[in-house]
A and B are shown apart, each in its own frame.
Chain A
Amino acid sequence: GQQLNQSPQSMFIQEGEDVSMNCTSSSIFNTWLWYKQDPGEGPVLLIALYKAGELTSNGRLTAQFGITRKDSFLNISASIPSDVGIYFCAGQSSNYQLIWGAGTKLIIKP
């Protein structure tokens, strides 16, 4: 079946650093979604990408839909403490089914 490889699994960063994470798949997707989950809450949509090659920003966040439609990355610039959490990618083909990455846990070094 379809699978997504999300990396890294976790990241320890200093406040102010830039962050990059990505998802790759052997399958083609029509939509890529990036979500963030804080402890005790549900995933919150950060960015939705609908077109191969699309580059979209949301504040300090930037995400791109890979040209091959099999990958996507998320960058966070100048990280701040509230960026801590788990980031998930999800790919969608032609129907309602989402294929989820395993998540990237972002931790700020004290």
Chain B
Amino acid sequence: DAGVIQSPRHEVTEMGQEVTLRCKPISGHNSLFWYRQTMMRGLELLIYFNNNVPIDDSGMPEDRFSAKMPNASFSTLKIQPSEPRDSAVYFCASSLNSNSPLHFGNGTRLTVT
């Protein structure tokens, strides 16, 4: 099992640019989560998908953030336009179902200058 796969591992971009983060969940898992981790705020849930449908996006900071899950094996998190305060590590996690433990990817470290 390859685990949750995220790309890219690192992203450095300039303020105002569009950023797209990618995630491949574990095969057979029906729940997918996007988290953001910072020193100040710890792990924050951004959005939760179940069976490819967004269930809870209340954690998405603002309209600049959007997420999609076009099929069971792929999800994207997009920030447009990016701002320096978006700098953080973004994690994707998947679970067998909504009540099962989460399995995390290795994250994308985003730096917006």
Give the B-binding residues of A (Cβ under 8 A).
31, 33, 35, 40-45, 48, 88, 92, 95-98, 100, 102-103
Q: Mark B90-111, 1 if CB is under 8 A from A, else 0.
A: 0101000011011111110100
Quick check: B106 and A40 within 8 Å, CB to CB?
Answer: yes
Q: Which of A33, A100, A103 contacts B101 (CB 8 A)?
A: A33
Given contacts A41-B106, A42-B107, contact A98 B98 (CB under 8 A): no
8 extra interchain contacts, Cβ-Cβ under 8 A, other than A31-B101, A41-B106, A43-B43? A35-B104, A42-B104, A42-B105, A42-B106, A43-B91, A45-B102, A96-B31, A100-B42
Q: Which of A41, A45, A92, A100 contacts B99 (CB 8 A)?
A: A92
B residues contacting A by CB (< 8 A) are 4, 31, 33, 42-43, 45, 48, 50, 55-56, 91, 93, 98-99, 101-107, 109
